[in-house]
Amino acid sequence: MDTSYVISKMNEYMFRLNQQIGNWLNKKLPKITDDWWQELVFNNLNTKQREVVLMKDIHEIRGLDLAATLRVLDRNWFVISSTFFMNNKDRSKIRNMQEIRNTWAHITPNDISKTRVIDDANTIIDLMQAFGASMKDTRDMEGFIVEVKEDKYIHVMSIAEKEKEFEDKANPEKQKATDGGIVIGSIVTLVSDPSVIGAVTSTSGNKYSVLVNGKVQTYYKEQLKLHEALEEHTYLSLRKVRSALTAYQIHNPGSTNLYSLNSARIDFVPYQFRPALKMIKADSPRILVADDVGVGKTIEAGLILKELEARSSLSSVLVICPRPLVAERKWQLEMKRFDEDFTQLDGKSLAECISETDRDGEWPERYSTNPKNRAIVGAEKQGVRPERTREMIRIQSSWKKEYLEFSLCAHDYEQHGPFACPYKTDPKLLTRPE
């Protein structure tokens, strides 16, 4: 393995990543808007990328290079995550991947290090799997990482070694080693007493000045030897290991584990977790819960809320339900089991809140359960369709030309069945708040 091989493999993996993300975008973007190519792709490219698209008459994602594909994904992140469930951690990886792509596009053999190759390859693997690739698809990439780590023939210089090389060039005196390998800065011990440890500060022929216990003493070469540091191991308690594993799972949420299992003061009823499981596995984060009366649909909605809150930021939540349920404080009391404080609003108060939010950029403090915005509003009459209530909260901004959006909206209607779903509309009219 040499540097040309490493560069070729990294370019191959970036090409495959471009294909993987392109295929994912080809499936998702048409579901957001009919004119997706113009609105979500072409309009988000830079001037040079647009010129290439027009010159080559490109009309598909697969015609874009990795830089353009990553730009489209980054620029449309909030539009896409408003329609499909996305892990917010992946956006930082996408931006990191943009830097990686730029680095490898202009890299030289002297810039290659084991650390860079391994870190960049791991980023590619993470993004491949985030956008639908299986472990089988990335197995050869993981094998390449092992190959780089264990390479014994062609040495790929590490960053630390590069720094040392630069330091040696800047300090020629330090670069001169004696027969015993002792140079300025070396940690040495006495041959007669290994417990005496010091650092060499200067040399003069066969004599060395060594800093020992705060004092500089002079020794001959025969009296000194290099200090051999014992290999150190870090021992962790079982509690710390479990904490580290838990932190890893929180940082990299999967679709097979639920984080809402112990998030509420409720009895463990397995079937009540099914809606939350379906929600996190669905391509489009919406779900209709139409169980019989008394089986716990409100609790199921609360579990969905806590599950999504553990995976991404839910800056605002709106519950729309019939007025009698507001008067009885049913939702407000049930949500306290999940440590969620909701403010009950009527239609006039909700319109006032949204108007002020549209004007000031933040939810009114008097209606806010800091640091979260949680609200319950009663419908005009029992059984009114959700679409009619949605119209009440679609207030157009006078200068942004956008619509306000709630991170999660739960509708409870007896006529149509209670259901909880993120409130999403045409991305041309609404964007998710940052």
Q: Kindly report which listed range (36-50, 63-77, 266-280) carries the lowest average pLDDT score.
A: 266-280
- All structural domains of the chain, each given as residue ranges with its CATH number in brackets, are 3-149 (no CATH), 177-226 (2.30.30), 243-421 (3.40.50)
Residue 44: other Cβ atoms inside 10 A: 17
Let me know: does 45 contact 72? Beta carbons within 8 Å.
Answer: yes
Tell me, what's the pLDDT at 89?
81
Let me know: does 97 contact 70? Beta carbons within 8 Å.
Answer: yes
Q: Kindly report which listed range (246-250, 302-306, 420-424) carries the lowest average pLDDT score.
A: 420-424
Give the mean model confidence (pLDDT) for residues 193-216.
86
Tell me, what's the pLDDT at 369?
63
Q: What residue type is 91 in one-letter code?
A: R
Let me know: does 198 contact 211? Beta carbons within 8 Å.
Answer: yes
For residue range 228-245, list pLDDT tens digits in order.
766 566 778 888 888 888
419-421/408-411 β-pairing: antiparallel
Tell me, what's the pLDDT at 352?
83
pLDDT tops 90 at residue 127: yes
Let me know: does 135 contact 115? Beta carbons within 8 Å.
Answer: no
Residue 288: other Cβ atoms inside 10 A: 13
For residue range 151-187, list pLDDT tens digits in order.
754 444 444 555 555 555 555 444 444 445 788 888 8
Q: If residue 172 lies in a helix (H) or strand (E), which one and from where to where?
A: helix 172-175
Tell me, what's the pLDDT at 167?
57
The mean pLDDT of the chain is 77
Tell me, what's the pLDDT at 383?
43
Tell me, what's the pLDDT at 347?
76
d(CA 306, CA 369): 16
pTM recorded for the entire structure = 0.42
Three-state SS at 378: strand
Q: What residue type is 159 in one-letter code?
A: I
Give the mean model confidence (pLDDT) for residues 296-325.
83
Tell me, what's the pLDDT at 72?
92
d(CA 411, CA 322): 9
Let me know: does 49 contact 142? Beta carbons within 8 Å.
Answer: no
Q: Identify the band that residue 120 occupies on the pLDDT scale cut at 50, 70 and 90.
A: very high
User: How does DSSP assign 50-114, residue by residue?
Assistant: HHHHHHHT--SGGGS-HHHHHHHHHHTHHHHHHHS---THHHHHHHHHHHHHHHHHS--GGG--H
Tell me, what's the pLDDT at 174?
46
Tell me, what's the pLDDT at 343?
85
- Interaxial angle between packed helices 47-56 and 66-75, expressed in degrees from 0 to 180 and rounded to the nearest 10: 120
